[in-house]
Amino acid sequence: MKMLIAERGSIAALNAALGWEATNARLSQIQNGSIRSGRGTKYEMGDQTARDIEERLSLPTGWMDTPPELDAVDDPSLRQFIALAAKLTPADRAKAARLLSALVEPPDHGPANGTTG
């Protein structure tokens, strides 16, 4: 979201690009982590808002979930994989890396059916 605001120069300009009222407070509340009155929870970017922004700006689905450094990666599946891995805990990332390694480089269990060589 910060990149989109920077590209357009202001939250008001981004709101206008999205077809929202320039004074719409939603993005400002998300950016500032404002507390919702009556709930005591922070405003956060939800999936529905992210997908709405992507659609309105003709961005690929999932763009809002992709860290900026992944923009250079051309393969959407790889970008999605990396973005998902970034959400894992360090311990779960290590497990995922071991699983992926096993898929890419299965262990050598020797000759099949007890044959030699």
19 and 53 assigned to the same domain: yes
Domain of 72, in residue numbers: 66-106
Give domain status of residue 113, yes or no: no
What is the predicted pLDDT for the residue at 83?
Answer: 75
Q: How many domains does the chain have?
A: 2
- Comparing 31 with 104, the larger pLDDT belongs to 31
33 and 73 assigned to the same domain: no
- Comparing 62 with 56, the larger pLDDT belongs to 56
Q: How far apart are CA 49 and CA 43, in angstroms?
A: 12
Q: How far apart are CA 62 and CA 54, in angstroms?
A: 8
pLDDT band at residue 71 under the 50/70/90 scheme: low
81 pLDDT above the threshold of 60: yes
The pTM of this model reads: 0.57
Alpha helices in 1-117 (DSSP H): 2-8, 11-17, 26-32, 47-56, 76-86, 90-104
39 and 7 assigned to the same domain: yes
Q: In 3D, which of 12, 13, 33, 34 has the Cα closest to residue 23?
A: 12
